[in-house]
Amino acid sequence: MLVEVKHWRIMYIIGIDGGGTKTVGILTTETGQHLAQVQSGPTNYHVVGETQTQSVLEDVVSELCRKAGISRTSPIRFCLGMAGLGRAADQHVIGQICDELGIRENRILTHDAHIALIGGTEKQEGVIVISGTGAIVYGINADGKEARASGWGYLLGDEGSGYDIAIKGLRAIARAADGRDDPTELTSRILNTLDLNDPSELIRWVHAASRDTIAHLAEIVFDTAQSEYSVAERIVDDAANELVCAAGSVIGQLEFKGQFDVVLSGGNLIHQSVFADKLRHQLAEIQPKASVLFPKHEPAYGAVLLAQSKL
């Protein structure tokens, strides 16, 4: 009697979080067993170009396979999360890059907030509030309906972001120098940090500085807010209010029927406990069904979980 023997092939998952400053990749088995993790340079093609984006993604995938001891031809499901991939034009560009890399099937292309939410909650629903260099609030409910607020970029919005907070701090210095507003400790603290002697020197500095460099000054605003209410703390309070407003918009659109998670993510919320507490308290007042938490996993692992859910 002949017995049919079935040969099962292991399916692998690669989750990638592609950002404007770094790219993180994780490789696991289909059951979630962690096999490899790598970090490389930025893959936001708007910033570094399509050629560099493709090169970094190629390096990340190759290095993950090398570390895990598997072939690039092994059955792999990919999930790539990147800023802007909620837009059709960006999906087309990154889709073509993936085609060039041989990733034509078994792939999910989505935006960075989506994978950050899933990594943060370990669920396929909830809301995430992100305040880093930029800011965005994104959510998805049990029916798969999505909603977002903010995330319009630093020229149109991103209220509550590091860049927004820093720029308002610099404007406060200019207003104080003119006598249009109260004097502020921000003047001496920021000028000393930048090795400048006079507020007027900020004009040349701000035009030469990158968006990320400016956003880093938010840390000084947060520190100053601990001792100064009239200016610095007002800036921080306004930033918290803007994020809560955006979160309220998303939550209202999604109409959650029961308790749901709200994840606080991004460097400003992870590392600035007073700022995070402001959001936590305000969200508890306006959304008692919301359970506010910090991320359980990093976004790249969220990409793994998303791919895993589609197997």
In-domain check, residue 154: no
Tokens describing residue 300: 């790249």
Question: Can you tell me the distance from the alpha carbon of 284 to that of 289, in angstroms, rounded to the nearest whole number?
Answer: 8
For CA atoms 217, 218, 222, 228, the dihedral sign is positive
Residues 89 and 185 in one domain: no
Strand ranges of the sheet holding 23-29, from the earlier edge strand across to the other edge: 34-40, 23-29, 12-18, 76-82, 107-111
| DSSP annotation of 190 | H
Tell me the CATH number at 192: 3.30.420.40
Q: Where are the alpha helices (DSSP H) in 179-263?
A: 186-194, 202-208, 211-215, 218-225, 234-254
Residues 82 and 166 in one domain: no
In-domain check, residue 47: yes
Residues 289 and 167 in one domain: yes
Residues 54 and 36 in one domain: yes
Note whether 236 and 182 are within 8 A (CB): no
Question: Can you tell me the distance from the alpha carbon of 256 to that of 115, in angstroms, rounded to the nearest whole number?
Answer: 20
Angle between helices 218-225 and 162-178 (to 10 degrees): 70
For residue 211, the enclosing domain spans: 162-293
Question: Can you tell me the distance from the alpha carbon of 302 to that of 40, in angstroms, rounded to the nearest whole number?
Answer: 18
Residues 75 and 17 in one domain: yes
In-domain check, residue 7: no
In the block, residue with structure tokens 């088995």: 29
Quote the pTM value.
0.86
pLDDT in tens, the chain (311 residues): 444 444 456 789 999 999 878 899 999 998 889 999 999 988 888 878 889 999 999 999 999 999 998 888 888 999 999 877 778 888 889 899 999 888 888 889 999 999 999 999 999 999 999 999 889 999 999 999 999 999 888 888 889 999 999 999 999 999 999 999 989 999 999 999 999 999 999 999 999 998 889 999 999 999 999 886 788 999 999 999 999 999 999 999 999 988 999 999 999 999 999 999 999 999 988 888 899 999 999 999 999 999 998 76
Note whether 231 and 182 are within 8 A (CB): yes
Q: How many domains does the chain have?
A: 2
Residues 266 and 305 in one domain: no
In-domain check, residue 200: yes
